Amino acid sequence: MAILGKSVHRVLWAALIAASAVHAETPGSIQTGINSQRIILLDIQRVGSQLFSAGERGWILRSADDGQHWQGIHTPADRTLTGLAFANDRLGIAVGHGATLLRTTDGGQQWTAVGVDGIGHDSLLGVTYLGGQHFVAYGAFGHYLESVDAGLSWSKKTVMGEDFDRHIAKVLKVGGDLFLFGESGTLLRSRDLGLNWDALQSPYEGSFFGGLQTPSGALLAFGMRGNLYRSNDQGDTWQLIPLDAKVALQGGQVLSDGRIALVGNAGLLALSNDDGKSFELSHAARGGLSQIVAVPGGALAVGDAGVQSLSLTQATAN
C-alpha cells in the first residue's frame, strides 16, 4: 500500500467521525418509531442476556432476544454515539461526537450526561472498561480521559506528551497492559494502565481503526485498505496477514467457538479458524460494517445500514 500523507489521513478520519444521515426506510422491529435498518449504528455489545447498540442522534438500541426485536432508548445526547462499554449488567458508559459522555446504572434503561471540563467539543471514538471502577475514553486529536469512580467524573490525561494529537481509535486491555491503536500508524503500549506509554514500531504508516487479542494471546491490529497485522510478542514485532481486500477494517470480535470475525466497509466479513493467521473473506452485508456480535445461529453486524443478520456456520453466541 502506498504511504499516505498526514493531510490525506485527516480527511479519511474526518469522514469517519462526521455526522451521519438516515438511510432509506426498510422493514424493522423498533418499538419506538426508530427502524433498526434505517439508523446508522457504530457499536454493538453483548451485556449478559441483552444486546446494546449505539449510533446516530444519541440513540441506543436494546434487545433482550438476541436481536429479534429492538427497543429504542432516547438518551440526553443529540450527537452520534460511537462506543459502549459495560462493567456489568447495570453499569455502562457510552461516548460520541461533541465530547459526549453518557452513563447508566440501571442496565441501560436510562442514561445521564456527564460533563468534562476542558475537552471542548471534539469527538470521542471509543471507551474501554479496565476493571473495578476504572474506565478510559478516547478519540480525536489525542483526547484521552480516565475515570476511577465508575464514570461519575473524568480527568484528561496526556499520551506521549502534551503535543500528541493523533486520533485514537481503540484502547485494548491485555492482562496488565494497555495497547493503543490510532491514526498514522500509531501503536502504543502501557505497562502501568496508562500512566506511561511507549511507542511500538509500527508495521506501516496508515491508520489503525482497531485491535483485538486472539484466543492464544496474540494481537491483531487492523485498519485502512485491508491492512491487518499480527503480533506474537506483545507488539514488539508484527507480521502482515494478507487479505484480498482493499477496504477499511473497522471492528472485530472473538467468537465463543474460537473463531475471529472482522468486519469493514462494503459489507466485508473476514473469518479466521487459525487464531488470526489467515482469513476467508465474503461481502456478507449491505454498506459499511462497524462491529459484529455473535448470536445463536449466526451473528449481527451494525453499520451504516443499521442492524444486519449474518450467517456464520457453527457460530455460537459470545
In this predicted model, what pLDDT tens digit does every residue of 171-227 receive, in sequence order? Answer: 999 999 999 999 999 999 999 999 999 999 999 999 999 999 999 999 999 999 999
Q: Is the pLDDT of residue 22 over 70?
A: no
Instruction: Find the mean pLDDT for residues 142-149.
Output: 97
Check residue 230 and give its pLDDT: 98
Round the average pLDDT of the chain to a whole number and report it. Answer: 89
> Residues 145, 169: contact at Cβ < 8 Å?
no
Instruction: Find the mean pLDDT for residues 2-23.
Output: 43
Check residue 36 and give its pLDDT: 86
Signed CA dihedral, 187, 180, 159, 99: sign only: positive
Cα 289 from Cα 127, distance rounded (Å): 19
Check residue 104 and give its pLDDT: 98
Q: Please tell me which residue, 19 or 242, carries the higher pLDDT value.
A: 242
pTM: 0.89
Instruction: Find the mean pLDDT for residues 309-315.
Output: 74
> Residues 180, 194: contact at Cβ < 8 Å?
no
Cβ atoms within 10 Å, residue 263: 27
Q: Is the pLDDT of residue 315 over 50?
A: no
Q: Is the pLDDT of residue 33 over 90?
A: no
Query: pLDDT tens-digit profile of 241-296?
Result: 999 999 999 999 999 899 999 999 999 999 999 999 999 999 989 999 999 999 99
pLDDT band for 21, please (50, 70, 90 cuts): very low
Strand ordering across the sheet containing 187-190:
168-174, 177-182, 187-190, 198-199
Check residue 38 and give its pLDDT: 85
Q: Is the pLDDT of residue 19 over 50?
A: no
Check residue 209 and give its pLDDT: 98
Q: Is the pLDDT of residue 131 over 60?
A: yes
DSSP 12: H
Cα 117 from Cα 246, distance rounded (Å): 40
Residue 304 carries which side chain, given as an amino acid letter? D
> Residues 90, 105: contact at Cβ < 8 Å?
yes
Closest CA to 65 of 50, 53, 77, 76: 50
